[in-house]
């Protein structure tokens, strides 16, 4: 994390370097979502063994890594004081979204495993689309939350980075 500059209300100013790991994690997760969308678009053709293995490994690595990084970044930026009111609701929603993505990812690992019976293509398609839509929405919400909760604490570079990340997540 960057050298902390004290700003509004004794809180440190949020600089671009404070957000780089979170935005990079969003980009990695977005690439995984794109790969899963390609699989969904190809159904009823199921992924081959090598592709299914790669996707299981990515789901098993990218999601927990992203979740841990996201928790650390948000705690460093907004965890100094217990959030209250609107910010508490925002942080709770982010946590709920994170948990949903992790559970859906675990379900996809099981569905893509050669150790369990494969679900029908309609079910797999639903699972895939639910996962990547939930993850994309969660990433967009996190960017909006940081822009909102960071408010005047965001440097211009940090705000620009979060707006660019939001635009990338929303396809704008």
Can you tell me the distance from the alpha carbon of 53 to that of 47, in angstroms, rounded to the nearest whole number? 9
For 35-38, which contacts have Cβ atoms below 8 Å and span 24 or more sequence positions? 36/108, 36/128, 36/131, 36/132, 37/128, 37/129, 37/132
What is the mean pLDDT of the segment spanning 44-73?
93
User: How many structural domains comprise the chain?
Assistant: 1
Range of the domain at 68: 5-170
Name, in order, each residue with C-beta under 8 angstroms of 62's C-beta and a sequence gap of 6 or more: 28, 29, 32
* Mean pLDDT confidence for 14-43: 95
Res. 8 pLDDT band, cuts 50 70 90:
very low
**Residue 115 — very low, low, confident or very high, per pLDDT cuts 50/70/90?**
confident
Single pTM value for the model: 0.87
């Amino acid at each position: 994390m960057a050298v902390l500059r004290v700003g509004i209300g004794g809180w440190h100013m949020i600089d671009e370097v404070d957000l780089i790991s979170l935005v990079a994690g969003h980009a990695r997760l977005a690439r995984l979502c794109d790969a899963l969308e390609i699989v969904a678009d190809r159904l009823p053709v199921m992924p081959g063994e090598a592709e299914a293995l790669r996707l299981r490994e990515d789901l098993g690595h990218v999601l927990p890594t992203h979740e841990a990084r996201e928790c650390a970044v948000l705690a460093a930026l907004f965890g100094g004081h217990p959030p209250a009111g609107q910010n508490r609701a925002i942080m709770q929603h982010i946590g709920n979204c994170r948990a949903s993505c992790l559970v859906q990812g675990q379900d996809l690992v099981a569905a893509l495993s050669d150790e369990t019976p494969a679900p029908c293509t309609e079910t797999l398609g639903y699972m895939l689309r639910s996962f990547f839509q939930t993850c994309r929405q969660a990433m967009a919400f996190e960017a909006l939350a940081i822009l909102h909760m960071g408010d005047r604490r965001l440097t211009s570079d940090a705000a620009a980075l979060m707006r660019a990340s939001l635009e990338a997540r929303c396809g704008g």
